[in-house]
């Protein structure tokens, strides 16, 4: 059987790499090759950026309503059974996805403002303009939703895009390029690039360096984020980074414990914990800790990981690589060796399959506390006071999401104001986002920047001076100055003359 092939999409054309280079794509559960993809050359990447640059003037000048209509058409197409079936099938093959996150309706108004100038009678006209070519890098763990986000707001603001997909999910992410092509997006406005893992660092650096690339966005690990930030810093190019998460959830004595346990379980295990908003740290008041731990253990035991294609009892899929699975287990082993207690889990893997784990007595300084696991693992810490809970929640480089469980409405706002997180969810799951005001990090390991209109436009000003000419300070000085003759000597002082007073 011929394996499916994922080509590049450059200047409105689907094509192989100019060198003919390809790479294999593997199913994480079985380890079998499920497709091949074009591995773009340096020339292909340059062609993609240059196509986007050529398309930019016309796309920026396209009325916002026309751009919106293309997006609305794409959203309608995405809702068809044809696309839903294709995405579910291909994502299942490439990344063992159990469900899709396909947020799409994100449309804002590009508006300006006018106000009086500091010059009497003058006016200032401030307006938002697109940046130019945006280079986006989207990950595999929510391959449709995060691909749309990487290019959606930049495109609707009038930018053009080059989108580099993950090496794990090229065919799934290419579906978004197909979608926009079908919706009528002009050629060159969106260009789609895939590269092998070996070629990715060089191709990424080359595209960042291209003078026509104005801004970069990347969703992924903080390790890779630092590399990309370093490349962008060479050219003083701005970036938006959505990186890792280590979401803490504080559970107070007055919380609805069964409901809190359900929300924590959902956010800890959804997509096998491979979401930046996953609940990884549970910080619970001592008075309700035994009850919460019992509830969590019961729910976690019911969540079986396995081959979701063949095992009807499996509700969790594989982790994305054997290395990722091994890293999760290494973090758990390290914690136990340093005094943590394993409450649930076998600390084993079957290839990329890891069963849910709960670990208690995990403390700051342990790798399982400090670093994102990206696996089906929750750690539980017990505290005696709210101040201690807040301090533990903030004992992290991550700042993406957090949670709080309490019935004290008035106390809620005091506590959430002290938690260093972009978004703190009260009495709900940490895997949650308001798409009209999206998540982001507050710096550090969670990154910085957002996917809002103001992040993908530049505020430019036109200042109109009044019809009546004002007094110019330099001209007034010139008018008061004593004239100088053509020989460079002040008129009237040559040959010893003192001139007129």
In whole angstroms, give the CA distance from residue 384 to residue 387: 9
In whole angstroms, give the CA distance from residue 175 to residue 160: 18
> 405 in helix, strand or coil?
strand
pLDDT value at residue 380? 97
pLDDT value at residue 114? 66
pLDDT value at residue 113? 66
Signed CA dihedral, 367, 371, 373, 379: sign only: positive
Other C-beta atoms lying within 10 Å of the C-beta of residue 235: 11
Of residues 59, 45, 53, 62, the one with CA closest to residue 10? 45
In three-state form (DSSP H/G/I as H, E/B as E, the rest C), the secondary structure along 427-465 is CCCCCCCECCECCCCCCHHHEECCCCHHHHEEEEEEEEC
pLDDT value at residue 127? 74
∠ CA 252-254-259, rounded to 5°: 85
Q: pLDDT for 282-336, tens place per residue?
A: 999 999 999 999 999 999 999 999 988 888 889 898 898 898 999 999 999 999 9
Q: Tell me how far CA of residue 130 lies from CA of 48, 52, 134, in angstroms.
A: 19, 13, 10
pTM of the full predicted structure? 0.84
Q: What are phi and psi of 67, to 5 degrees?
A: -60, -40
Burial class (CB in 10 A: 0-12, 13-18, 19+), 408: middle
Q: Tell me how far CA of residue 478 lies from CA of 168, 472, 481, 498, in angstroms.
A: 69, 10, 5, 21
Would you say 113 and 161 are in contact if contact means Cβ atoms under 8 Å apart?
no
Give the residues across from 470 on adjacent strands.
Answer: none
> 205 in helix, strand or coil?
helix
* Set 45, 276, 422, 423: catalytic member: 276
DSSP string, 85-153: HHHHHHHHHHH--SS-------------EEEE-SSTT-EEEEEEEE-SEEEEE--SSSTTHHHHHHHHH
Q: pLDDT for 175-184, tens place per residue?
A: 999 999 999 9
Place of tokens 């340093």: 338
Give the residues across from 205 on adjacent strands.
Answer: none
In whole angstroms, give the CA distance from residue 422 to residue 399: 6
pLDDT value at residue 115? 67
Q: How far apart are the first and last CA of the chain?
A: 103
pLDDT value at residue 122? 73
Contacts with 312 (C-beta within 8 Å, 6 or more apart), sequence order: none
Other C-beta atoms lying within 10 Å of the C-beta of residue 480: 7
> 488 in helix, strand or coil?
coil
Distance of CA 221 to the CA centre of its chain: 10
Of residues 12, 38, 11, 58, the one with CA closest to residue 182? 12
pLDDT value at residue 116? 75
pLDDT value at residue 3? 87
Using the 8-state DSSP alphabet, how is residue 361 labeled?
S
In whole angstroms, give the CA distance from residue 247 to residue 185: 38
Would you say 274 and 244 are in contact if contact means Cβ atoms under 8 Å apart?
no
Contacts with 369 (C-beta within 8 Å, 6 or more apart), sequence order: 281, 335, 362, 363, 379, 395, 396
365 Rama class: left (phi>0) / alpha (psi -120 to 50) / beta: left
Question: Would residue 309 show up in a list of annotated catalytic residues for this protein?
Answer: no
pLDDT value at residue 481? 81
Beta strands 123-130 and 457-464 are antiparallel
In whole angstroms, give the CA distance from residue 197 to residue 191: 19
Would you say 440 and 447 are in contact if contact means Cβ atoms under 8 Å apart?
yes
pLDDT value at residue 487? 61
* Set 242, 280, 295, 372: catalytic member: 242
Kindly state the tokens that stand for 186.
């002009």
Question: Would residue 79 show up in a list of annotated catalytic residues for this protein?
Answer: no
pLDDT in tens, the chain (501 residues): 688 999 999 999 999 999 999 999 998 888 899 899 999 999 999 999 999 999 999 999 998 888 888 988 988 888 888 888 888 888 878 776 655 333 434 344 445 566 677 777 777 777 788 899 999 999 988 888 888 889 988 999 999 999 999 999 999 999 999 999 999 999 999 999 999 999 999 999 999 999 999 999 999 999 999 999 999 999 999 999 999 899 999 999 999 999 999 999 999 999 999 988 899 999 999 999 999 999 999 999 999 999 888 888 898 988 988 989 999 999 999 999 999 999 999 999 999 999 999 999 999 999 999 999 999 999 999 999 999 999 999 999 999 899 999 999 888 999 999 999 988 999 999 998 776 667 788 899 999 998 888 888 888 888 888 888 888 888 888 888 877 665 655 554 444 444 433
Using the 8-state DSSP alphabet, how is residue 495 labeled?
G
∠ CA 356-379-252, rounded to 5°: 120
Place of tokens 């986002």: 433
96 Rama class: left (phi>0) / alpha (psi -120 to 50) / beta: left
Would you say 68 and 204 are in contact if contact means Cβ atoms under 8 Å apart?
no
In whole angstroms, give the CA distance from residue 468 to residue 50: 45
Contacts with 259 (C-beta within 8 Å, 6 or more apart), sequence order: 427
In whole angstroms, give the CA distance from residue 491 to residue 484: 6
């Amino acid at each position: 059987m011929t394996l499916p092939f994922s080509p590049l999409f450059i200047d409105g054309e689907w094509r192989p790499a100019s060198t003919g280079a390809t790479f294999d794509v593997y199913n994480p559960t079985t380890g079998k090759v499920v497709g091949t993809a074009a591995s773009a050359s340096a020339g292909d990447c340059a062609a993609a950026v240059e196509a986007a640059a050529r398309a930019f003037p016309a796309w920026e000048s396209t009325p916002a309503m026309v751009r919106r209509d293309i997006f609305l058409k794409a959203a309608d197409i995405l809702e068809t059974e044809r696309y839903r079936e294709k995405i579910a099938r291909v994502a299942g093959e490439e990344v063992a996805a159990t469900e899709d996150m396909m947020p799409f309706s994100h449309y804002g108004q590009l508006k300006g403002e006018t106000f009086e100038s500091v010059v009497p009678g003058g006016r200032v006209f401030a307006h938002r303009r697109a940046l130019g070519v945006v280079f986006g890098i989207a990950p595999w763990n929510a391959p449709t939703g995060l691909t749309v986000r990487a290019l959606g707001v930049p495109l609707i603001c009038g930018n053009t895009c080059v989108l580099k997909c993950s090496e794990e999910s090229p065919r799934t992410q290419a579906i978004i390029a197909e979608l926009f092509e079908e919706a009528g997006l002009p050629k060159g406005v969106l260009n789609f690039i895939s590269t092998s893992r070996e070629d990715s660092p060089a191709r990424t650096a080359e595209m960042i360096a291209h003078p026509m690339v104005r801004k970069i966005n990347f969703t992924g690990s903080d390790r890779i984020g630092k590399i990309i930030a370093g490349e962008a810093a060479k050219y003083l190019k701005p970036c938006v980074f959505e990186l890792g998460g280590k979401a803490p959830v504080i559970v107070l004595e007055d919380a609805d414990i069964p409901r809190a346990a359900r929300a924590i379980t959902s956010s800890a295990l959804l997509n096998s914990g491979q979401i930046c908003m996953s609940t990884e740290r549970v910080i619970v008041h001592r008075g309700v800790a035994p009850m919460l731990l019992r509830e969590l253990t019961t729910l976690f035991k019911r969540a079986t990981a396995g081959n979701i294609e063949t095992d009807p009892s499996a509700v969790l899929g594989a982790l994305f690589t054997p290395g990722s699975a091994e890293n999760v287990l290494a973090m758990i082993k390290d914690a136990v060796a340093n005094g943590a207690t394993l409450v649930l889990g076998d600390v084993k893997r079957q290839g990329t399959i890891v069963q849910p784990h709960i670990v208690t007595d995990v403390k700051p300084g342990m790798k399982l506390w400090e670093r994102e696991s990206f696996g089906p693992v929750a750690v539980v810490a017990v505290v005696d006071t709210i101040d201690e809970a807040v301090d533990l929640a903030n004992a992290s480089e991550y700042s993406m999401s957090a949670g709080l469980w309490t019935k004290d409405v008035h106390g809620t706002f005091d506590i959430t104001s002290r938690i260093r997180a972009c978004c703190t969810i009260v009495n709900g799951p940490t895997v949650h986002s308001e798409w009209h005001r999206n998540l982001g990090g507050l710096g550090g390991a969670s990154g910085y920047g957002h996917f809002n209109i103001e992040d993908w436009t530049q505020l430019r000003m036109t200042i109109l001076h009044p019809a009546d000419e004002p007094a110019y300070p330099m001209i007034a000085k010139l008018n008061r100055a004593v004239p100088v003759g053509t020989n460079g000597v002040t008129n009237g002082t040559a040959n010893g003359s003192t001139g007129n007073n």
